[in-house]
Amino acid sequence: MNLTAETYGHAVVLNIKGELTEDSLGAFQREVEHQLAGRDIIDLVLNLEKAPFVDSTCLEYLLDLQDQLAEKLGQVKLVRPDENVRKILEITRLSGIFETYKDTAEAVKAVQA
């Protein structure tokens, strides 16, 4: 998995390339914590366009992260989830929990509104 980050005000966009699995969770968590530490970042936008798979361990982490950010009035938004990831979200009934957007600009605009 490869991650790049872009900051827009109080939101950070993480562009994810590769699978989000239990094996890559540690690196993903470290990057999220790095982005949220010591700054006014309260919203996280995950660009999943190049992430073909998300396993249950990572979904659980995203749910925990959603709760953490909600305590600071922040949120987690998903951008362009791959077809497989959309199916996983539907099967796990999480598609209603995480809002998804067609592009990064739209998601960033939503969290800054």
Q: What b/e string do you get for 35-56 counting C-beta neighbours within 10 Å, with b at 16 or more?
A: bbeeeebbbbbbbbbebeebee
Question: pLDDT for 30-55, tens place per residue?
Answer: 999 999 887 788 999 999 999 999 99
Q: Which domain holds residue 98?
A: 2-112
State the CATH number of the domain containing residue 53: 3.30.750.24
What is the residue type of 73?
L
Q: What are phi and psi of 91, to 5 degrees?
A: -60, -40
Whether the per-residue pLDDT at 113 is higher than 90: the answer is no
Rounded mean pLDDT, 95-101? 93
Number of domains in the chain: 1
| pTM check: above 0.75 | yes
Q: How many whole angstroms separate alpha carbon 17 and alpha carbon 3?
A: 6
